[in-house]
Every structure is written in structure tokens, then in C-alpha cells.
Amino acid sequence: MHSFRLAAFVWEGHCAAMTMTTLTFLLPTPDDTTTLASKISKSLSPGDCLLLEGPIGAGKTHFARALIQSRLGREEDVPSPTFTLVQCYDLPETELWHADLYRLTSLDEIEELGLSEAMETAICLIEWPDRLGEYWPNHALHLSLSLVPQAEDARQITITFSDEKWQNLIGQVSKEYLDEQS
């Protein structure tokens, strides 16, 4: 048991023709992050792109590793692509790309690595997406992880999207996650 109150705060903001939806909730332990990532993994299709933001140690790689292992259906070694920048996994129906752009030195590398094409055709998980510049994918699901003061094992996650294709998936996943937690 943990002592946190579990709640999701949902915010819908309208600007011009775009609706942004934002949900924030607590991930009290690493296992909770694994659970949420596994739930999301099941519903991803080719062309889906997840942008993972947050400071070093926030849990971006933990989330990505859990999602990849769940989707692969096995405990495969999932190294952090800190130096390779990208790591690619084969799924029966598509490829799953895991990128860490912290050490990206030029935007040209995004094209050269094949990441710009993968963002349209594969499933992509991208750490440090602020490095994407003009390649920023507007259709992406945005996940921002942050540390929680005085709770070493807890993280807060904020999920944001404007593309309505995420509405059902995230609505369903967050409901399931919060129901199981309460």
C-alpha cells in the first residue's frame, strides 16, 4: 500500500482549431510505471509516436523498456540508446524504435538515422524530443515524467495530446490503471 491519493486531473483546452487534452497522475512505484507502459503498449500501431520528456532519472528509459518488453512479449535486454541514439526492435507487423536524442549533434542525423521516416511508419519512443526541432511530430502522444519531492520511488506523469486518435486509447488505459490502483 502507498499513502498517495490516486487521482487523474483532466484538462481540455481549446485554441484555434486544436483541442489539447492533458491528464496528470501519480506513479507511486517503478512497478506502477511498468504497468502503465504495458497497458499503453498493447494498443500502439504503426505511425504512433510517443515523446518522453523529463529530467535525467525521471524514468523515461524505465517507461520505454517496460513498453518494449511488454510489446515484444519477452524479457529482452533493452539497453538505453544513450550512445547509439536509436535502437530498433522487430515486431511481427512493424518496427519499434527507441531513440534517446540527448547526444544528437545535428538535425541532419534525424534523417540519416532513418528516424524521420520511422516516425511516420513505425512505432517510435523518443527520449529528449526537444532535440527534434523541425521534425517535431504534431500527431505524437506527449508524456512528461517528473520527480516527486520526498518520495524517491514516485513519479508524476502528464500525458498530453491534440490528435484525437489518442482519445480512446488514453481514456481507456488511464481508467483501467486508476481502477486497479484504487
Inter-residue contact 145 to 133 (CB < 8 Å): no
Q: Which of residues 100-129 bind Mg ion (CB under 5 A)?
A: 127
- The nearest distance, CB 40 to Mg ion, in angstroms, is 17
Using CB under 5 A as the binding rule, whether residue 21 contacts Mg ion is answered as: no
Using CB under 5 A as the binding rule, whether residue 160 contacts Mg ion is answered as: no
Q: Quick one: what does residue 170 bind among ligand ADP, Mg ion, none, with the CB cut-off 5 to 8 Å set by partner type?
A: none
Q: Quick one: what does residue 71 bind among Mg ion, ligand ADP, none, with the CB cut-off 5 to 8 Å set by partner type?
A: none
Interacting residue ranges for ligand ADP, rule: CB under 6 A: 27, 29-30, 32-33, 54, 56-62, 127, 153-155
Using CB under 5 A as the binding rule, whether residue 60 contacts Mg ion is answered as: yes
Q: Quick one: what does residue 98 bind among ligand ADP, Mg ion, none, with the CB cut-off 5 to 8 Å set by partner type?
A: none
- Orientation of helix 166-181 relative to helix 30-41, angle to 10°: 140
Question: What stretches of the chain adopt beta strand conformation (E)?
Answer: 9-15, 18-27, 49-53, 86-90, 95-100, 123-127, 141-147, 155-161
Q: Which stretch binds Mg ion (CB under 5 A): 13-21, 23-31, 59-67, 128-136?
A: 59-67
Q: Quick one: what does residue 27 bind among ligand ADP, Mg ion, none, with the CB cut-off 5 to 8 Å set by partner type?
A: ligand ADP
Cell output for 146: 517528473
Question: What stretches of 3-61 adopt beta strand conformation (E)?
Answer: 9-15, 18-27, 49-53
Q: Which amino acid is at 65?
A: R
Inter-residue contact 95 to 119 (CB < 8 Å): no
Residues in contact with Mg ion by the rule CB under 5 A: 60-61, 127
